[in-house]
Amino acid sequence: MTAAGLARFTGRTALLSAAASGIGEAAAHRLAAEGASVLVTDIDGKGAHRVAEEIRAAGGEARDLQLDATSPADWAAAVAEAESWTGRLDVAHLNAGRNFPGAAHELDDDSWHYQLRLSLDSVFFGVRATVPLLRAARGAVVITSSVHAAIGFKGYPAYAAAKGGIDALVRQLAVEYGGEIRFNAVLPGSVLTALWADTPPEAKARISARTPVGRLGEPEDIAAAVAFLASDDASFITGQNLLVDGGRSITSHE
Ligand SMILES: NC(=O)c1ccc[n+]([C@@H]2O[C@H](COP(=O)([O-])OP(=O)(O)OC[C@H]3O[C@@H](n4cnc5c(N)ncnc54)[C@H](O)[C@@H]3O)[C@@H](O)[C@H]2O)c1
């Protein structure tokens, strides 16, 4: 992992959710490579531990904690861990979410509520828990949303509603906490993580061909945007939803 020689997070502490895989894992490595003390959390505690070990092996500072992003109690424990470790929190990357297919007329109540809880409630719980420490540090929050917040894909109404909710929430929070904490979201397009493990190569080739930059995304593409928005380089940017999708959402799919 390279961080382009940048060290924008020296002396700062970052807390990441869903960071044992994919985008969250890449963001943890990126922030650590740029000098952050990184608290790696995931519902998969063993996976979070592995990522923290890899960061330390690369010379970075990391701790790990099992955290179910839908659990307010787990968020409180993570904030307490950050406080006892470094006494501060500068960055929160709220990354939990998953798209489960199911057209509206087929979706039962439990599935709808679970998806909203995993992809939207988890963000609220993370914000509520981290705001006091972030305020003290004049920190930044970056939320992983999705291109589904901006355009419709057949079969994903609950995911679209959850990620679309983040779109408005980011603006609201940016206004609410003004100069104290910045809030932004990244909207990844198709990014090659575990979520894509079962996608046939022909389907990936089709999507690449429809993407102006001519390829699918890598987790590091999103991590770079997360690091930018979390850093002082973005100190005049708040309340924004940044599409990081190789241009897929701005081209015709005819
Ligand atoms: N990969 C894509 O193409 C893509 C596109 C748009 C948005 N996203 C968003 O990016 C985020 C990360 O996705 P990814 O592709 O890196 O997935 P991934 O499958 O690689 O990683 C997801 C991680 O989330 C963890 N997790 C699951 N439930 C959790 C919970 N309740 N609490 C805490 N952690 C939990 C898993 O253990 C896993 O480590 C999600 O919010 C997803 O909606 C991904």
Measured in whole angstroms, how far is the alpha carbon of residue 107 from the centre of its chain?
Answer: 26
Per-residue pLDDT, 1: 43
For a ligand 1 pocket test, name from 191, 192, 215 the mutation site with the most ligand atoms within 8 angstroms of its C-beta: 191
Encode pLDDT of 86-137 as tens digits.
999 999 999 999 999 999 999 999 999 999 999 999 999 999 999 999 999 9
Encode pLDDT of 12-47 as tens digits.
999 999 999 999 999 999 999 999 999 999 999 999
Per-residue pLDDT, 5: 85
114: annotated active-site residue? no
Average pLDDT for the chain: 96
Per-residue pLDDT, 163: 98
Per-residue pLDDT, 179: 85
Per-residue pLDDT, 195: 87
3-state secondary structure the chain: CCCCCCCCCCCCEEEECCCCCHHHHHHHHHHHHCCCEEEEEECCHHHHHHHHHHHHHCCCEEEEEECCCCCHHHHHHHHHHHHHHHCCCCEEEECCCCCCCCCHHHCCHHHHHHHHHHHHHHHHHHHHHHHHHHHHHCCEEEEECCHHHCCCCCCCHHHHHHHHHHHHHHHHHHHHHCCCCEEEEEEECCECCHHHCCCCHHHHHHHHHCCCCCCCECHHHHHHHHHHHHCHHHCCCCCEEEEECCCHHHCCCC
Per-residue pLDDT, 254: 58
Which atom of ligand 1 has the smallest separation from the CA of 25? 16
Of 114, 156, 159, 177, the catalytic one is: 159
Residue 3: pLDDT band (50, 70, 90) is: low
Select from 18, 21, 58, 69 the least CA-distant residue to 36. Answer: 58
CA of 96 relative to ligand 1 center, distance in Å: 5
If you search the block for the tokens 């890598």, which residue do you land on? 218
User: Mean of the pLDDT values across residues 168-193?
Assistant: 96
Domain 13-245: CATH superfamily is: NAD(P)-binding Rossmann-like Domain (3.40.50.720)
Q: Is residue 2 pLDDT above 80, yes or no?
A: no
